[in-house]
Chain A
């Protein structure tokens, strides 16, 4: 019994880190441009379909999928910033991204049909290893390592690099940043592209965990939004904590109390929001 819980908790970490990679992109896009990107799930789904098309069970395919995904994600993020830039009201921005999500969903179902597509991990990583007497998929452990690497790398990039300093300056006070000579437009574009890349990379790497199917875009978008609301919009460590918490609730919570599980996320949301004052209005990137 304890082993079952432990293994499920590891599953929860994998799922939580998957959510983190995608939600970090969402929180970046929200932080940089103040835009609620409702097409974020579509970017994940694009990544998952790229993995389905290219990875084909070998490591080289997965790397190719990652490369293509990076290009698609950067293009998606930059395109999103171009779409949203002429719009001023938050409702108009949200409606525009929603329109993109609908167009993408139509395109995906036209290209790949209405049935879920398989996306197996590379054969090299497809086996399972013994974990406390239970077989556990190697790919998930590799995924945990990769995603943890992305989390650390992202944190260092935002806090320690020049690009991160420019980003934080642009987020904190765009007008002042522009007055000191920072090319805020280019900084925004670059980090929007980064946010898109995170979502698509999450889709490519996460396809064996949460595979491509119609409707996955909404599922991912909902969970990421909950993560961002819990973590505090714009905060990357907060996003990580929120993602790990949601990952545990969605796995260990379902195992421990199947009947209460649907309400557990609501309860977590209420508890977090009750502790914190007004949410989501203060944008900070640390």
Chain B
């Protein structure tokens, strides 16, 4: 029997064996969770403020990474679904449904629904065209949010009330409690995404990035797979909207502006194929924006711009350094 060996176009072959990095990833995750819980609680209370923004951006970054890291489809309009989820949560709150987990689930469902609505428009495109169309959809959603006053309250946004943890258990309104609630939401969502990424479904998404016609020829429904992935990404971003609402009990169009989409894309690009990498990158981006940006006299945009360029040039620079190093090694060997 002959085996067909094919060169992977961009992805390393996905295998089921345990990678040696896995232990390190688990250790990093445990340390990160401990730091995330202990630092705002005991050491630096102000971290709860920045932490909430970081958790929301990390959720949106996971949502971008879910599709960019597997199917190679990088969305530049994911903040649209954050907005859909956020407005869903605020309307539930205004209707008297204050249950936080319920809002989270409803926002995720709304995000998934919105993604399904956009899918016929968005999923025709691949590569650069996907960036273009998602960017257009995201920005049109942003414009719609600021002009559709009866539903979104215009540029001022809408206010609700603090969510409860369970119908009878109110969530304490302190910053720390709200941060810890967001952390729980985030960990549940991250766990779900990590599970999804270990299934055959994620393999199919990867295959779609590597060789879509072959996947289709094998009998897979590529469009259906991509649709499911895109809906999951929308659900995640929608859940991020509910988290954002619960941290401030308000949602405004400025929450779903281009910056949110761009920074989530940056985090996903830094993470590459790694979900943990995207999350760490999102936290780092928020730290740069909200802490370093203030320290440098409001030049957060320049810092982020430099970060964008550094991410873009990471691979060429690493390749150049490696080539130089091997050239030196060869030269030394000759001598």
Contacts and interface: CB of A to CB of B under 8 A. Distances in A.
Given A94-B131, A222-B136, A261-B147, A103 B305 contact: yes
A266 B140 contact: yes
B318 interface: no
B132 interface: yes
A100 B309 contact: yes
Interface string A99-138: 1111111110110000000000000000000000000000
A102 B121 contact: no
Contact of A265 (B68, B132, B140, B309): B140
Given A92-B312, A96-B309, A279 B124 contact: yes
B255 to A, nearest CB: 15
Interface in B1-15: none
Tell me the interface secondary structure of chain A in the complex: helix
B257 to A, nearest CB: 8
Interface stretch (A9-17, A159-167, A223-231): A223-231
Interface string B278-321: 00000000000000000000010110111111011101100000
Contacts of A107: 302
Nearest to A278: B124
A132 B139 CA distance: 36
A30 B128 CA distance: 9
A115 B262 CA distance: 23
B311 A281 contact: no
A242 B282 CA distance: 36
Contact of B148 (A30, A90, A262, A265): A262
B91 interface: no
A124 B315 CA distance: 53
B308 A263 contact: no
Given A218-B139, A278-B124, A92 B299 contact: no
A220 to B, nearest CB: 11
Contacts of B144: 262-263, 266
Contacts of A103: 301-302, 305-306, 309
Interface residues of A, number: 49
Contacts of B139: 218, 222
Interface in B72-122: 74, 76, 120-121
B37 interface: no
B136 A106 contact: no
A265 B147 CA distance: 13
Given A91-B68, A263-B144, A229 B136 contact: yes
Interface in B135-151: 135-137, 139-140, 143-144, 147-148
Contacts of B306: 99, 103
B301 A93 contact: no
Interface residues of B, number: 42
Contact of B132 (A86, A229, A278): A229
B128 A36 contact: yes
Given A95-B269, A262-B148, A279-B125, A87 B316 contact: yes
Contacts of A233: 129, 132
A217 to B, nearest CB: 10
B148 A92 contact: no
Interface in B44-80: 68, 74, 76
A98 B308 contact: yes
A86 to B, nearest CB: 5
Q: Which of A35, A100, A101, A103 has the most CB of B within 10 A?
A: A103
B159 interface: no
B218 to A, nearest CB: 21
B269 A96 contact: no
B273 interface: no
A280 B312 contact: no
A69 B42 CA distance: 56
A30 B132 CA distance: 11
Nearest to A107: B302
Contacts of A61: none
Nearest to B310: A99
Nearest 10 A/B pairs, CB to CB:
A99-B308, A280-B129, A102-B305, A96-B312, A103-B305, A99-B309, A106-B301, A106-B302, A262-B144, A222-B139
Given A36-B131, A222-B139, 9 more contacts: A35-B128, A90-B127, A99-B312, A102-B262, A228-B132, A233-B132, A262-B144, A266-B140, A281-B126
6 contacts: A34-B128, A91-B74, A225-B135, A228-B132, A266-B140, A280-B125
